[in-house]
């Protein structure tokens, strides 16, 4: 592939352009190595120093969360903000307007301290002061994406046990054999948003098949494969540059159970390996398999603006 062709391919992949198939999916693409929008470009410096810096930042974020957990009281505006309703400044306005009750009594006092045992109500509904936590995991093979398992199998919760003092929940699912990016959070609103069909969260996968994919079958996938739920729409699909023709890059937004595996099975292929390299703009850049990190404020804001 020439430099000009490669440039065009990297520019168009991932945008809602007309469906295309058969082009090369560049493993050096921003989705594989991480977009600069979500982090700084890796420098040529010492990897150990980079790891230490990332470790320091992670510890500092965890310490901030744990400080809130171990406090006996918390300012009412921070309590409201931590619940995810609004910012602290907006919470002050709600308090002065008399819209917040503590233990059945309207409180409009600025700086009011709330105890953990207090019941706080806003707009007729009880709220909790958990600060939203967002953890990005590079899931290894052999773990299931549930909070617990009746068969005592390993779950993603085992991998993020020390990530947060709050209880986390996986956003969507990756099956036991699938690896790659998965988000865990205690933010119920964000989870509902990212998993709702109308949201159309973009996901990019690296697929390894048991045999080479033909151009004819790739064209059929672009046109849409009929499954039990209906026509499986694939946003983009292409071969991976520099790899055998059994390695495919595929972008989808539908969240049907095992949809990618079933698409290829319908055409007589078996998926030997499936790795999610991007979910809703988040990549596994700088996260080793089985490791996790807390999202930056910029990444959280980007998710909220999607």
Task: Report, as residue numbers or ranges, the catalytic residues.
Answer: 175
Q: Find residue 236's DSSP bridge partners.
A: 251
Residue 224 token pair: 């849409």
Per this entry, what is the length of the chain? 306
Which residues, listed in sequence order, are joined to residue 206 by a DSSP beta bridge?
249, 275
Give start and end residues of each alpha helix (H) in the chain. Answer: 3-12, 30-33, 47-70, 76-82, 88-96, 156-159, 188-195, 215-223, 259-266, 297-305
- The residue written with tokens 């779950």 in the block is 155
Q: What's CA 164's distance to the chain center, in Å?
A: 16
- Rounded CA-CA distance 213/271 in Å is 11
Identify the burial level of 145 via C-beta atoms within 10 angstroms of its C-beta, where 0-12 means exposed, 13-18 middle and 19 or more buried: buried
CB atoms within 10 A of CB 231: 11
Please state, in angstroms and rounded to a whole number, the distance separating the CA atoms of residues 222 and 68: 50
| Listed residue (16, 38, 11) closest to 26, CA to CA | 11
DSSP state string for 207-244: EEESSPPPHHHHHHHHH-EEETTEEE--SEEEEETTS-
* Main-chain phi, psi angles of 185, to 5 degrees: -160, 165
* Structure token digits, residue 237: 């699909």
């Amino acid at each position: 592939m020439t430099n000009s062709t490669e440039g065009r391919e990297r520019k168009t992949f991932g945008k809602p352009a007309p469906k295309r198939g058969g082009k090369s999916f560049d493993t050096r693409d921003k989705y594989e190595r991480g977009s600069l929008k979500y982090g700084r470009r890796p420098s040529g410096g010492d990897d150990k120093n980079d790891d230490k810096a990332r470790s320091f930042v992670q510890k500092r974020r965890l310490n901030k969360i744990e400080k809130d957990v171990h406090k006996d009281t918390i300012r009412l505006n921070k309590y409201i903000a931590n619940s995810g309703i609004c910012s602290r400044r907006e919470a002050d306005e709600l308090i002065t307007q008399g819209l917040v009750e503590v233990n059945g009594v309207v409180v409009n006092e600025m700086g009011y301290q709330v105890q953990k045992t207090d019941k706080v109500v806003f707009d007729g509904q009880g709220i909790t002061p958990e600060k939203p936590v967002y953890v990005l995991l590079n899931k290894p093979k052999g773990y299931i994406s549930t909070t617990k398992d009746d068969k005592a199998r390993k779950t993603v919760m085992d991998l993020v046990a020390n990530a947060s003092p709050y209880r986390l929940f996986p956003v969507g699912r990756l099956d036991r054999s699938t690896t790659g990016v998965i988000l865990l959070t205690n933010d119920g609103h964000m989870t509902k948003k990212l998993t709702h069909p109308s949201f159309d969260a973009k996901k990019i996968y690296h697929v390894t098949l048991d045999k080479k994919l033909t151009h004819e079958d790739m064209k059929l996938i672009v046109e849409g494969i009929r499954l039990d739920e209906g026509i499986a729409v694939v946003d983009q699909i292409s071969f991976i540059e520099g790899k055998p023709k059994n390695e495919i890059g595929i972008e989808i937004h539908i969240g049907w159970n095992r949809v990618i595996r079933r698409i290829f099975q319908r055409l007589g292929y078996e998926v030997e390996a499936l790795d999610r390299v991007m979910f809703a703009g988040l990549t596994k850049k700088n996260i080793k398999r089985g490791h996790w990190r807390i999202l930056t404020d910029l990444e959280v804001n980007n998710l909220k603006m999607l």
